Amino acid sequence: MVEDVVTCDACPVLCRIRPGKAGACDRYANVDGVLTRTDPMVLAQQVSDRQGLVVPFLSGAEWDGSLVSPAPTFLTGIGSGTTYPDYKPAPFIVASQYRGVDVVTVVTEGIFSYCGVKVKIDTDRYIGPEQAAVRAEGEQVGHVTTAEYGSQMLALGGVRHLTGGSKKEGVVTCDTLLALCNKAAVELAVDRGAHLTVQAGRAPVIDGVKEERMRVGCGSAAIGMFAKQWVGHVDEVIVVDDHITGVLTEHQAGRFLGMAPAGIRVRGRRSTPGRYFQVASPGRGWGGTDITDALAIIETIDPKTAWPGLRLLIVSTTGEDAAYFVLDDRLRPVPAAMPEAVAKAVGRIGENCEPALVSVLFMAGAGGSLRAGVTENPVRLTRSVRDALVRVTCGGAPSYIWPGGGITLMVDVTLLPDKAFGHVPTPALVGPIEFTMRLEDYAALGGHMDRLRKLEEVLASPRVKSALRVAEEE
């Protein structure tokens, strides 16, 4: 045995740390022979709460001369330490008052072997087939999942990639999740699909091209939104979309406005009038299709219905692609200069598109000894969360709790302070988690009442920093 070596029990790795050194995760170090958490504890101040910003003498309360009331202070799990995988109380069980109510916040850092992220990419560009493998550094870290309205979706991480594959796969998966949760950019490749650069709160980059717009809606929705603005300026509009392409004069919106049929039939499978499925293959062309020549979407032009001089607009769901045609004497579409009124309507589509962003939602199961750190009877915590007696937050950010068994939570990483997540080499992610409830409810669910500490006592520690101050120093 080496003198002054300490054994870290913060995770199952059980690092033996020499004086002045840190463990494998860089979260704990040997400081003068004492195991010490290296990062500061972070508190959040609810500066957005209007009540906390009211000048006291205007609120009806007694005034001590201060300009504004102090903002409510919330101790987060960032930098707090953990109890995993031991059966012992959470590092901080803090008693305070909020609006006159005695509350308890149980603060810890969860070590999540069962975790992943859901990545929402605002684009109609084709990134790859559903279920295709998503890779980082050549290792599979997840897959393409079901696309949602105007967005492509990735499911990354999970216990099967963290621990169910090779050691390298687990390490790369952990590194990828950590970077995404800490709001860093990550390079990904989709099998039989695109190369992506994704970063929470930033525009996605697809095959080296930065996306600017999220589509306004499907082709049918665009018809419904802008039909009135096209009447009198065009005779037919086709809004190209990978999912539902819209044709104005057939569409209910065109009929409602009394537009005459134009006789232009697009490719694909007709659903309801003016709505077409499968007009082309998915791709990176117009409206998320493989169409690069606008006229390729037209199947037939009925000479009994169409007429020479018919004005035709073909446009994508973002307005980035648009072409204007006039039918000649042989009913062939001839490119023409786009009238100002038509160009204005196309611009309105773009104006209504939101900026393309990447959203990263951390998703994990809070189980095992994490719950035992809150109460001697963990099932009571689970039931209390389900019954809305306990509020679950991550780094002070609100979380969504999935229904059903267990405590399966999801949180938007952009709402957390920077560098809120860490890792351990098991591999697993380390994330802050807080459980807040009334004092009486905490006692009723079998909480560790003998470990209660006052908030003021904890805040007196030199390790505590506010989230705002941390951001300013960086």
Which pLDDT tens digit goes with each residue over 183-213?
999 999 999 999 999 999 999 999 999 999 9
Burial class (CB in 10 A: 0-12, 13-18, 19+), 401: middle
Name the helix (H) or strand (E) containing 155: strand 151-157
How much is the pLDDT for 48?
Answer: 45
Is the CB of residue 266 less than 8 Å from the CB of residue 247? yes
| DSSP per-residue string spanning 309-330 | T-EEEEEETTSSSEEEEEE-TT
Q: Which parts of the chain sit beneath pLDDT 70?
A: 1-2, 45-72, 466-474
How much is the pLDDT for 311?
Answer: 98
Query: Rounded to 5 degrees, what are φ and ψ at 358?
Result: -105, 130
Strands of the sheet containing 133-136, edge to edge, are 209-210, 205-206, 195-198, 186-190, 133-136, 139-148, 151-157, 115-122, 358-365, 408-412, 400-401
pTM of structure: 0.86
Which pLDDT tens digit goes with each residue over 277-317?
999 999 989 999 999 999 999 999 999 999 999 999 999 99
How many Å apart are CA 121 and CA 127, to the nearest integer?
Answer: 10
Spell out the domain ranges in the chain: 1-38, 41-214+354-474, 219-351
Tell me the three-class secondary structure of 121-137, residue by residue.
EECCCCCCCCCCEEEEC
How much is the pLDDT for 409?
Answer: 96
Distances (CA, A) of 267 to 107, 275, 310, 315: 58, 11, 19, 15
- Tell me the pairing of strands 452-454 and 92-98: parallel
How much is the pLDDT for 64?
Answer: 52
